[in-house]
Amino acid sequence: MYYVYILLSQKDNKKYIGSTNDLQRRLYQHNLGLVKSTKGRRPLEMFCFEQYGSEKEARTREKFLKTHKGYIELKKKYGL
């Protein structure tokens, strides 16, 4: 399984969208500072995730959520 996830920074309350096949490992990497884009925004917590059957589906969804239309969808669905 593959996942699209949204992390919430406890430092600045900003969100980060990513995809992975291992949610626990990826959150651990983010919180260790191994991910450049979130290193300065630690600690992070899992806000939500969506599950997909293929990496392609997850990556396509991740890219969409990072667009303006995707942001609008997230705002309606999760109140972001």
- pLDDT, tens digit, for every residue of 22-52? 999 999 999 999 999 999 999 999 999 999 9
Decide if pLDDT at 6 tops 80.
yes
The domain spans of the chain are 2-78
Decide if pLDDT at 80 tops 80.
no
List alpha helices for the chain, DSSP H.
23-32, 55-65, 68-78
State the Cα–Cα distance between residues 41 and 70, nearest whole angstrom.
22
Kind plus residue range of the DSSP H or E element containing 20:
strand 15-20
Decide if pLDDT at 78 tops 90.
no
State the Cα–Cα distance between residues 54 and 59, nearest whole angstrom.
9
Fold of 2-78: GIY-YIG endonuclease (3.40.1440)
* Other beta carbons within 10 Å of 12: 8
DSSP tag of 38: T
pTM for this prediction = 0.93
